[in-house]
Amino acid sequence: MGRLSKGKTIPVLTVLSVIVAVWYVCVVWMNAQWEYDQAERAGTTIEFSQLVSNTMHQERPVLPAAHQVFAEMWETIVNKKITSKRSLVYHAWITLSATLLGFAIGTVLGILISVGIVHNRAMEKSVMPWVIASQTIPILAIAPMIIVVLNAIGISGLLPKALISTYLSFFPIVVGMVKGLRSPDQSQLDLMHTYSASATQTFWKLRWPSSMPYLFTSLKIAVAISLVGAIVGELPTGAVSGLGARLLAGSYYGQTIQIWSALFTAAILAATLVMLVGLAHTYVLKRMGQQPGGVA
């Protein structure tokens, strides 16, 4: 008991159970209308206890109950073969592959742009406004155009979706890395100057290692919105597989349980990706603080 109350277990469980309780209250509240309508149509009345029990097991609830969502997820993640078109693992992998490719391209692109901005005044003045402007365009508007334009020049499949992820994910990398590469203080830069170090030497020995904490913070944001980008890329383009397609199909046919389980899968995927970047962050910082040589 003493250990439990000192740790985080009890607070975390408390918050979690409050969320679940609120969820179930909402389930009863939001699904009740349909039950009342059914009863009225049948010319009967419905007891409250019966109502509560019914709202938990509707076929197409307005708000599915937690156990319905998790049963659906269990069914489509664990019980289906992962090659099946009904397996969420299959759909998640389609989305994940676009996410990772887009994230990788976005990271490289973002780093290159930030290096250019930091080293070239003209580039700062000319590129940075476009980088910012690019993010004011709704991704939903530009996604179909990217797909159509790339299709016209013969590129289809994974890459167009990945590029939509790239479009979203390069931005936090640029912003974070510009700040990171400029983070060395004046005396650290002066020191390089007194050694008559070249710009390349200053970059690899000072700017790059200094920017690591900024890079990883940006990567965490970038990987999460890469996933958003991949899902959004699947929505307006008539994709038949991927979590986005699953969401869309669910909403066409009123399959709220399917929508919610796809949403939860996406959330779990995002949390896992962010966690993996976090682990890489910890590892790199540890290397930079414990091993001679650090990061070069």
Partner 1 sequence: MSGNKVISSENLSLTFETNDGPVHALSDIDLKIDKGEFVSFIGPSGCGKTTFLRVIADLEKPTSGAITVNGMTPEEARMKRAYGYVFQAASLYLWRTIEKNIALPLEIMGYSKSEQQERVARTLELVDLTGFAKKYPWQLSGGMQQRASIARALAFDAELLLMDEPFGALDEIVRDHLNEQLLELWDRTNKTICFVTHSIPEAVYLSTKIVVMSPRPGRVTDVIESTLPKKRPLEIRESPEFLKIAHRVREGLRAGHSYEE
Nearer Cβ to partner 1, position 139 or 215? 215
| Burial call 221-234: b when 16+ CB within 10 Å, e when fewer | bbbbbbbbbbbbbb
Report how many residues bind partner 1 under the rule CB under 8 A.
23
Of the residues 37, 40, 47, 190, which one makes contact with partner 1 according to CB under 8 A: 190
Of the residues 7, 129, 238, 294, which one makes contact with partner 1 according to CB under 8 A: 294
Of the residues 191, 240, 267, 271, which one makes contact with partner 1 according to CB under 8 A: 191
Three-state DSSP class for residue 56: coil
**Separation CA 129–CA 107 (nearest Å):** 19
The interface with partner 1 within residues 78-117 (CB under 8 A) comprises: none
| Shortest spacing between CB 250 and partner 1, in angstroms | 48
The crossing angle, in degrees rounded to 10, of helices 208-234 and 139-152 is: 80
**Separation CA 138–CA 211 (nearest Å):** 30
Nearer Cβ to partner 1, position 123 or 197? 197
Cα–Cα–Cα angle for 156, 161, 162, rounded to 5 degrees:
110
**Separation CA 251–CA 115 (nearest Å):** 43
Q: By CB under 8 A, is residue 195 in contact with partner 1?
A: yes
Which range binds partner 1 by CB under 8 A, 14-22, 35-43, 127-135, 183-191? 183-191
Q: By CB under 8 A, is residue 205 in contact with partner 1?
A: yes
| Interface with partner 1 (CB under 8 A) | 185, 187-188, 190-197, 201, 205-206, 209, 212, 288-290, 292-295
